[in-house]
């Protein structure tokens, strides 16, 4: 079975509600970017998970896919610093049809989001971030990034569990690139098993990120995002081999191949 993959964010519609702790999630996800015209049909290697911000055209797209018999799970990304995805707006969007809540603050900015997840019986993705989107790269980096991420996610888990979020509804994201230095991003990927020992499924997003551009720089200039695909492929393989259940990517067909081969490696005899 392949790891879950996505056009941006990933989760499995068949496994989420009661079995999100299963070792392998198997569906793909495709993001319709905010403000773009949704496509009425998707190719066979599309993703079946739609990440959105609760906008009207996105809801219409979900409805159209479901009419086609597609299994589609919608994911709402909540940025607590943005009024458009504040707790109240998020609650309204969940009631309008979003099925998964992704909190980039890990419940640190607005713990009420956990109560929204409980009330709506929605799976909750908790991401680690140092500071806020405005300060995360300006603050001093952690001396021990793995310990910092593990401690921060433990705190997020505690808030979620105290609010009543079932363990089976929680997914963790170490937040690659969010308040981490260039070297720390690689250290986190190499030591991802330390995060997986928290006992929850891991979602990891490395796709086309800045640290890859720095690694692939030529003549002192960072590689542009569209030239980071092969670097992304290397990190996606590393994530899966080091314990990620879910990978978040832009280039779905290519990363689907990476995920399939990585899973075949995991399934091969190791002794």
51 is catalytic: no
In this structure, are strands 203-205 and 246-248 parallel, antiparallel, or unpaired?
Answer: parallel
| pLDDT score of 118 more than 80 | yes
Return the CATH class of domain 5-267.
alpha beta
pLDDT range class, residue 256, cuts 50, 70, 90: confident
- d(Cα 118, Cα 122) in Å, to the nearest integer? 7
- Evaluated on CA atoms 88, 99, 120, 243, the torsion sign reads negative
191 is catalytic: no
Catalytic residue among 130, 180, 209, 228: 209
Q: 7-21, 93-107, 228-242: which has the highest mean pLDDT?
A: 228-242
Give residue-wise pLDDT tens across range 9-19: 333 323 222 33
Q: What is the pTM of this model?
A: 0.77
Catalytic residue among 108, 130, 180, 248: 248
More confident residue, 18 or 239: 239
Alpha helices, H only, the chain: 16-19, 56-67, 87-95, 112-119, 145-163, 182-190, 192-196, 210-215, 229-241, 252-267
| pLDDT score of 6 more than 50 | no
């Amino acid at each position: 079975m392949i790891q879950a993959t996505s056009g941006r964010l990933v989760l499995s519609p068949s496994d989420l509600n009661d079995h999100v702790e299963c070792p392998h999630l198997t569906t793909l996800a495709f993001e319709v970017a905010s403000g773009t015209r949704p496509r009425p049909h998707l190719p066979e290697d599309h993703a079946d998970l739609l990440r959105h911000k609760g906008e009207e055209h996105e809801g219409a797209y979900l409805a159209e896919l479901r009419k086609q018999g597609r299994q589609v799970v919608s994911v709402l990304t909540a940025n607590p610093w943005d009024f458009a995805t504040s707790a109240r707006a998020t609650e309204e969007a969940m009631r309008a049809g979003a099925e998964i809540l992704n909190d980039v603050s890990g419940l640190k900015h607005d713990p009420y989001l956990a109560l929204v997840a409980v009330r709506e019986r929605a799976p909750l993705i908790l991401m680690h971030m140092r500071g806020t989107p405005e300060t995360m790269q300006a603050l001093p980096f952690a001396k021990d990034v793995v310990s910092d991420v593990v401690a921060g996610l433990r705190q997020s888990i505690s808030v979620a569990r105290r609010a009543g979020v079932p363990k089976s509804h929680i997914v963790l994201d170490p937040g690659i690139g969010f308040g981490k230095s260039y070297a720390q991003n690689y250290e986190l990927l190499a030591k991802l098993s330390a995060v997986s020992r928290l006992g929850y499924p891991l979602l990891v997003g490395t796709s086309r990120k800045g640290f890859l551009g720095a690694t692939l720089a030529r003549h002192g200039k960072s590689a542009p995002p569209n030239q980071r695909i092969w670097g992304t492929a290397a990190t996606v393989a590393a994530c899966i081999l080091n314990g990620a259940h879910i990978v978040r990517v832009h280039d779905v067909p290519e990363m689907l191949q990476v995920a399939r081969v990585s899973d075949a490696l995991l399934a091969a005899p190791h002794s």
